[in-house]
C-alpha cells in the first residue's frame, strides 16, 4: 500500500477513576478532585513517526451514494480516486451492484436482472449501467489491484426484477419471472422462469420478502445453486475469476437463509460482510454464527445515533454492540447509501456529529467503513485522513472504557509490547474539559494526534495525567518521542 503520511502527533493511554457527570460551569472543567499536573519540559517533544507503528489493519471505502451522478461516469470518477484512497490507508473498495438492473441506466443495481451484464448488452434501455461500461469497470478493478486494494462486489441474490411476464400456475396469475435472452437476461446466462422462484413444484415456501416477493429465488434448487455459486461459470466464480472481484457484500440477508452464504463462501472464499439491518446485538451475533461471515454492526450504528443525536447521552456508547463481543465479525460504519437517503432522523447520524462517530469507530476494534460522501466532504476529509492513519497504526490492543457519563467518554486501546496504543476522549458538552486518568506511561509527555488541541500534558511518576477534549469534539492521545 503506497502512503507517506507523517502526522503531527500526541497520544496517551489511561486507566481512570469513574466519576459522576461533570459540570459545565467553567471554560475548562477539571472534574476530578485531584487534577493532574501539567509540568513543562525543557525541550519540545516530537510526534511519533506513525509509519513505524503500522498494525496491519485497514479501512474499507464505500465508493458510492444513492443515485450517484453523473450517470454512466461513475467507474471513471472513482478510478481517479483510487491512488489517493490507497495513500490514505484504505485497503478495500466496496463497489455498488455492478450489473444491469430493471431500471437500466437509472438503476443502482438493487433491482437485479442480468447477473452477467456489466455494461455491454443493450437492454432495459441502455448498454452502460448507471456506473459505466464493462471495460471501464475492468480498468477500475485493475487499478485498484495495482494499488494493493481489494475490490468488494455488492451481491443481490434473493430478489430479481425486470423479467418478462408469464403465467405462474403456483400463484395462479401472471408474474414477471421469465428471464431469458429477450426478457431481461441478454447475456443468456442463468435463464430463469417461475420454477426457480418461490413457490414452485418442489417447494411451497414463500419467504414473504419485502422486495419483489414473487421473484424471490429458491436457493434450495440445484439449478439456482449451480448458477449462483457452484458451477464453473456461476455468478460467484465469474465475478471472482473473470472480473477480478476479491470479496462480497451480501445485500438484504434477511431475504434468505444463512446456509446460502456458508455454501457460497465454502465454494469461492474471499472477504465477506452481510447487510443484516437489525440493531439488536444478539440477533447479529446469532446471524454471524450461522452465516460464518461478519455483519455490518447496526447495533453500534444505532447506539452511536442514540448517543450523539437522539438522546444526546454518551452512556449509550457503553451499551451492547456486536463489536464489543465479536470485534472480528463486526464491520462498523457511520453512514451508508441507505441511511443517507432516508429522511428518518433516527436512521442517520447528523452531520455535526459524524466526526465524533468516526473517531469512535476508527479507534475501537471492529473493521471500519468510510462513506464516500463523508470522505469527499472537504470539511471532513483532513480529519478522516488523520483518523484512518491512527486506526492503521496506534488503534491496537484491548479496548478499555476508562470513563463514561452523559457528555464524556474516555477509552483506551492498550497497545502491544511494540505499540503504545491510544486514548480517545469524546466531549459533547459546550465547554472544553479536562479529566485526570491513570495511564500506563510514567514521566512521559503526551500529544493529541487528532490535532484538536495543542495541550501537551506529562504523566507523573505514578502514571496520572490530565487530558483535554475541546467542546463538542474529541481528542486522541499517545506518547511522544
Cβ(395)–Cβ(57) below 8 Å: yes
- Within 8 A by CB and 6+ apart from 379, the residues are none
Cis peptide before 302 (omega within 30 of 0): no
**Cα first-last separation, the chain:** 26
Calculate the alpha carbon distances from 155 to 39, 228, 444 in Å. 56, 10, 50
Q: Which residues belong to the annotated binding site?
A: 158, 407
The question of whether 275 is a catalytic residue gets the answer yes
Give me the catalytic one of 150, 251, 383, 408.
Answer: 251
Least Cα distance to 358 among 389, 327, 315, 337 occurs for 389
Catalytic residue among 275, 306, 383, 448: 275
Are 415 and 13 spatial neighbours (Cβ–Cβ below 8 Å)? yes
CA-to-CA distance for 334 and 350, rounded, in angstroms?
Answer: 10
Is residue 150 among the annotated active site residues?
no
Q: Report the catalytic residues.
A: 251, 275
Amino acid at each position: 500500500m503506497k502512503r507517506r503520511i507523517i502526522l503531527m502527533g500526541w497520544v496517551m493511554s489511561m486507566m481512570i477513576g469513574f466519576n459522576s457527570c461533570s459540570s459545565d460551569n467553567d471554560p475548562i472543567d477539571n472534574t476530578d478532585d485531584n487534577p493532574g499536573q501539567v509540568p513543562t519540559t525543557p525541550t519540545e517533544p516530537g510526534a511519533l513517526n506513525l509509519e513505524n507503528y503500522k498494525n496491519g489493519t485497514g479501512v474499507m471505502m464505500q465508493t458510492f451514494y444513492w443515485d450517484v451522478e453523473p450517470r454512466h461516469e461513475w467507474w471513471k470518477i472513482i478510478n481517479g480516486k483510487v491512488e489517493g484512497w490507497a495513500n490514505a490507508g484504505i485497503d478495500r473498495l466496496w463497489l455498488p451492484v455492478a450489473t444491469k438492473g430493471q431500471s437500466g441506466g437509472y438503476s443502482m443495481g438493487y433491482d437485479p436482472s442480468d447477473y452477467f451484464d456489466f455494461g455491454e448488452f443493450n437492454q432495459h434501455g441502455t448498454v452502460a449501467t448507471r456506473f459505466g461500461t464493462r471495460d471501464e469497470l475492468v480498468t477500475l478493478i485493475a487499478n485498484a489491484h495495482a494499488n494493493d486494494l481489494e475490490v468488494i462486489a455488492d451481491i443481490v441474490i434473493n430478489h430479481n426484477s425486470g423479467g418478462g411476464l408469464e403465467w405462474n400456475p403456483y400463484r395462479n396469475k401472471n408474474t414477471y419471472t421469465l428471464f431469458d435472452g429477450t426478457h431481461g437476461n441478454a447475456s443468456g446466462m442463468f435463464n430463469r422462469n417461475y420454477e426457480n422462484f418461490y413457490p414452485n413444484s418442489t417447494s411451497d415456501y414463500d419467504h414473504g420478502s419485502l422486495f419483489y416477493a414473487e421473484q424471490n429465488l429458491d436457493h434450495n434448487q440445484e439449478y439456482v445453486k449451480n448458477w449462483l455459486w457452484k458451477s464453473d461459470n456461476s455468478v460467484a466464480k465469474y465475478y471472482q475469476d473473470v472480473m477480478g472481484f476479491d470479496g462480497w457484500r451480501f445485500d438484504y440477508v434477511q431475504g434468505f437463509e444463512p446456509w446460502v452464504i456458508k455454501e457460497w463462501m465454502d465454494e469461492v472464499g474471499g472477504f465477506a460482510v452481510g447487510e443484516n439491518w437489525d440493531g439488536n446485538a444478539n440477533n447479529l451475533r446469532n446471524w454471524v454464527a450461522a452465516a460464518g461471515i461478519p455483519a455490518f454492526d447496526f447495533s453500534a450504528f444505532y447506539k452511536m445515533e442514540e448517543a450523539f443525536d437522539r438522546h444526546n447521552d454518551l452512556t449509550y456508547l457503553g451499551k451492547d454492540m456486536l463489536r464489543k463481543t465479536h470485534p472480528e465479525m463486526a464491520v462498523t460504519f457511520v453512514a451508508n447509501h441507505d441511511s443517507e437517503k432516508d429522511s428518518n432522523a433516527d436512521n442517520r447520524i447528523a452531520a455535526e456529529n459524524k466526526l465524533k462517530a468516526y473517531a469512535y469507530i476508527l479507534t475501537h476494534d471492529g473493521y471500519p467503513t468510510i462513506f464516500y460522501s463523508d470522505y469527499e466532504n472537504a470539511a471532513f476529509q483532513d480529519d478522516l485522513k488523520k483518523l484512518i492513519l491512527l486506526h492503521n497504526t496506534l488503534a491496537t490492543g484491548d479496548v478499555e472504557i476508562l470513563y463514561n457519563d452523559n457528555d464524556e467518554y474516555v477509552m483506551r486501546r492498550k497497545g502491544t509490547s511494540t505499540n503504545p496504543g491510544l486514548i480517545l476522549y469524546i466531549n459533547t458538552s459546550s465547554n472544553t474539559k479536562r479529566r485526570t486518568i491513570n495511564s500506563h506511561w510514567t514521566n512521559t509527555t503526551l500529544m493529541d494526534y487528532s490535532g484538536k488541541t495543542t495541550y501537551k500534558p506529562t504523566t507523573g511518576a505514578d502514571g496520572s495525567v490530565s487530558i483535554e477534549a475541546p467542546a463538542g469534539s474529541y481528542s486522541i492521545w499517545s506518547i511522544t518521542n
